């Protein structure tokens, strides 16, 4: 049911949606389990980089998770590598339109050369569709193609929202909030800091750079 807006929330300058849905009690283990489950279901994220003279620039990318970190294969000729060379801050954003679950990952983008063995571990043949085959036996879109490079996103901060109601429940909560002047409460908002993320990396990040 929608929760009533409190005078204290207004006086403190709080965002009532955050205040009423924020979970600061769940332990790190369950928090990361839910985070992993949402990310593994979606597999596609918007990768945001900062472009000199422009600002934030985003593009859709397939991702592979290693603990709290994410590995992406990309064409070395892409401008995203120029962005990262000048500013390593990057963001990954996921959203599930079926239930409104979302994840935001902010951290450092680390690139590696074509010799990184992790490329072969996460490569699949469908990736070649985005590279093309020149027919020279080298630029074929395969894992040994010199254009094939790896980007590793190492988070320093993670936030995510997990739904706690069905689609019908979501609609009823919104309608009830509009009718009563309450604040819709449809899920749980969580955050993970750098210390928690590093612990998860050491525990779960088989392909991560520790």
- Residues 47-70: pLDDT tens digits? 999 999 999 999 999 999 999 999
pTM: 0.92
Residue 204 to residues 69, 112, 156, Cα–Cα distance (Å):
9, 21, 16
pLDDT of residue 161: 98
CATH no., domain 28-162+191-204: 2.30.110.10
Each residue's pLDDT tens digit, 11-27: 889 899 998 999 999 99
The answer to whether residues 69 and 152 touch, using CB atoms and an 8 Å cutoff, is yes
Within 8 A by CB and 6+ apart from 106, the residues are 89, 90, 91, 155, 156, 157, 158
Domain ranges in the chain are 28-162+191-204
**% of the chain surpassing 70 pLDDT:** 100
Each residue's pLDDT tens digit, 128-137: 999 999 999 9
Alpha-carbon span 160 to 191, nearest angstrom: 7
DSSP 181: T
Alpha-carbon span 55 to 48, nearest angstrom: 10
Which two structure tokens, joined as six digits, stand for 6?
């409190």
- How would residue 2 be classed by pLDDT, with cut points 50, 70 and 90? confident
């Amino acid at each position: 049911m929608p929760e009533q807006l409190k005078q204290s929330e207004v006086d403190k300058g709080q965002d009532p949606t955050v205040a009423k849905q924020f979970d600061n009690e769940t332990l790190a283990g369950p928090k990361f389990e839910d985070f992993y489950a949402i990310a593994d279901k979606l597999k596609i994220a918007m990768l945001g980089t900062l472009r000199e003279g422009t600002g934030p620039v985003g593009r859709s990318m397939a991702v592979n998770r290693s603990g709290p970190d994410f590995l992406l294969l990309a064409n070395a000729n892409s401008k995203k590598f120029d962005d990262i060379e000048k500013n390593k801050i990057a963001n990954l954003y996921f959203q599930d339109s079926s239930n409104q679950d979302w994840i935001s990952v902010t951290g450092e983008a680390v690139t590696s050369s074509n010799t990184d063995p992790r490329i072969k571990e996460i490569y699949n043949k469908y990736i070649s569709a985005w590279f093309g085959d020149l027919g020279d036996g080298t630029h074929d879109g395969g894992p040994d193609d010199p254009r094939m490079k790896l980007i590793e996103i190492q988070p320093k901060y993670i936030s995510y929202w997990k739904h706690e109601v069905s689609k019908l429940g979501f609609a009823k909560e919104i309608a009830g909030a509009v009718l009563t002047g309450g604040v819709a409460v449809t899920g749980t908002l969580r955050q993970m800091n750098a210390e928690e993320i590093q612990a998860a990396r050491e525990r779960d990040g088989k392909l991560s750079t520790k």
